[in-house]
Amino acid sequence: MERRTIKKELMIEGIGLHKGDTALLHLTPNSEGIVFISNGKRIPATPPNVVDTRQNTTIGNGTVAISTIEHLMSALYGVCITDCLIEVSGSEMPSMDGSALPFVELLQEAGTEGLGLECTPIELASPIRIEEGSAWIEAAPGPFSLTYEIDFPDPAIGRQRFIFNGHDYVHRIAPARTFGRLKDVEMMHAAGLALGGGLHNAVVVNHDRIINPEGLRFPDEFVRHKVLDILGDLWTLQAPLQSRISAFKANHTLHIRLAKQIFLSTQQQYQE
């Protein structure tokens, strides 16, 4: 795979999902990987720089942190961008409509171009498995595939399973929106989260009902969004992962723990 960047500069503005503040992004071509800039500090979007995985993925560098990067990172994965400079005014990514599709469409409009540099896929030497209670995630050597399964007590969500083989991200994965349970909203607000959330940028579930008047974009939109999230979290590796990935009831914490272990193993391989 050839490393690619955007062809022209791009501005994106919107409201952050968790903090509710206005965020402005300025994306420019780059050949040094995916790098965020906030208050003059450069933060490469790599696993070691992830500092928080509470309901979202946050990267940081000292006193500067940028939260909810996973949807933009997923969009960058979806259009095969390995290198991009992202200057952020604000502390969070714009939520857009709660999916990665608006980011994908803007990136496609800007266009991409090759850098004439090779992006070497990451291959595992042995399986990696991480467990947390009944939840787990595993990556094993082999060609890329991703099997994700969720299980919620809410009848509106229930148990869903999705297999993604790397094809047609734009139509099958990017439109899937983030979701939340109505009974969790007050708890999230008390924790300073979901302050910019609403039916315009999230699917809201109340036990056996979908609150959004337009309903779902896919019957299994919930698990598709989890696939969207993990693809963004794993793109912090900034290279294609040739691995059979399986996940059950996982979250950003497990996604990033896996990414950090893979990152560490690749660094050790380079040193050897």
Q: What is the pLDDT along the chain (272 residues), one digit of tens a residue?
A: 899 999 999 999 999 887 788 999 999 999 999 999 999 999 999 999 999 998 899 999 988 999 999 999 999 999 999 999 999 998 899 999 999 999 999 999 999 999 999 999 999 999 999 999 999 999 999 999 999 999 999 999 999 999 999 999 999 999 999 999 988 877 777 777 778 888 999 999 999 999 999 999 999 999 999 999 999 999 999 999 999 999 999 999 999 999 999 999 887 655 55
0.75 surpassed by pTM = yes
- Cβ-count burial 185-215 (b if 16+ within 10 Å, e if not): eeebeeeebbebbeeebbbbbeeeebebeee
Q: In sequence order, what are the beta bridge partners of 38?
A: 41
Quickly tell me which residue has 């056996």 as its tokens: 208
Sign of the CA dihedral running 78, 170, 147, 58? positive
Instruction: Phi first, then psi: give them for residue 232, nearest 5 degrees.
Output: -70, -45
Please, what is the end-to-end C-alpha distance for the chain in angstroms?
A: 24
- Cβ-count burial 220-232 (b if 16+ within 10 Å, e if not): bbbbbbbbbbbbb
Q: Is CATH 3.40.50.450 what the domain over 2-121 is classified as, yes or no?
A: no
- Judge whether 25 and 86 are in contact, CB under 8 Å: yes
Which residues are known to be catalytic? 252
